[in-house]
């Protein structure tokens, strides 16, 4: 077992550095969503920076699954400051973060695989979060289920943009944190 993997398995809780990193990323996600999110819009699809940043935090700190769930609940609380349907984000962000917390333990050996895995898991987590939010929205407003189909491309587009953001930030943030990145096999 590699040194980093051994240290990860022995980890009892979340460190202060991990907690601070998560807080900074969630705050950055909120600021980006507030100031930049309205300007970046491709046919109704725009990145959800809060989801992208909690996915990035989970990828970087690789917490235990229940810590991922807590990160999602905190992200849901942050979402209450933005226009939308109140309280739905608690469930949707918790589900997305929980999925991310489970998916990050898929093994990846090379740097390229780790970047790809970060992007794919972010895509899946965003689809779960956005999908659950859409379903809950239509359940509570009792709208026509066929109208839900219009949200599918928006959720998939947002998931794609979030995956690109996380893939682009993965290596610089890992280097900034001086985390170990396994080099490509020669």
pLDDT single digits (tens) 5-50: 444 444 567 788 888 889 999 999 888 888 876 666 655 667 889 9
Indicate whether 42 belongs to any domain: yes
Indicate whether 186 belongs to any domain: no
Indicate whether 75 belongs to any domain: yes
Nearest to 34 by CA among 45, 50, 21, 18: 50
Indicate whether 25 belongs to any domain: yes
CB 121 within 8 A of CB 103: yes
Indicate whether 185 belongs to any domain: no
Q: Measure the CA–CA gap between 29 and 55, rounded to whole angstroms.
A: 11
Q: Measure the CA–CA gap between 183 and 186, rounded to whole angstroms.
A: 9
- So what's the pLDDT on residue 43? 59
The residues with which 123 forms a beta bridge, in sequence order, are none
Indicate whether 184 belongs to any domain: no
CB 174 within 8 A of CB 181: yes
- pLDDT tens for 92-143 read 999 999 999 999 888 877 778 888 899 999 999 999 999 999 898 888 877 7
Indicate whether 47 belongs to any domain: yes
Number of domains composing the chain: 1
The residues with which 45 forms a beta bridge, in sequence order, are 42
Measured in degrees and rounded to the nearest 5, phi and psi for residue 32 equal -65, -40
- So what's the pLDDT on residue 7? 46
Instruction: Find the CATH number of the domain harbouring 153.
Output: 1.10.1760.20
Three-state DSSP class for 42?
A: strand
Nearest to 156 by CA among 72, 48, 32, 60: 48
Indicate whether 182 belongs to any domain: no
Which domain covers residue 12, as residue numbers?
3-176
pLDDT above 50: residue 167: yes
182 vs 38, 64, 119, 171, CA distance in Å? Answer: 37, 21, 17, 11
Tell me the two tokens of residue 34: 């507030």
């Amino acid at each position: 077992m590699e040194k980093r993997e051994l240290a990860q398995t022995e980890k009892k809780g979340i460190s202060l550095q991990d907690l601070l990193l998560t807080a900074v990323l969630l705050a950055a996600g909120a600021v980006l969503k507030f100031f930049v999110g309205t300007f970046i819009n491709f046919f109704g699809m725009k990145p959800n920076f809060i989801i992208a940043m909690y996915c990035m935090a989970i990828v970087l700190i690789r917490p235990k699954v229940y810590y991922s769930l807590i990160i999602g609940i905190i992200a849901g609380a942050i979402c209450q400051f933005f226009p939308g349907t109140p309280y739905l984000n608690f469930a949707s962000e918790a589900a997305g973060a929980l999925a991310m917390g489970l998916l990050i333990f898929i093994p990846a050996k090379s740097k390229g695989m780790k970047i790809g895995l970060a992007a794919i898991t972010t895509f899946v987590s965003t689809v779960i979060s956005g999908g659950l939010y859409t379903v809950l929205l239509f359940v509570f407003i009792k709208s026509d289920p066929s109208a839900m189909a219009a949200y599918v491309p928006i959720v998939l587009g947002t998931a794609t943009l979030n995956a690109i953001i996380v893939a682009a930030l993965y290596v610089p943030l890992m280097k900034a944190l001086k985390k170990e990145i396994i080099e490509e096999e020669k």
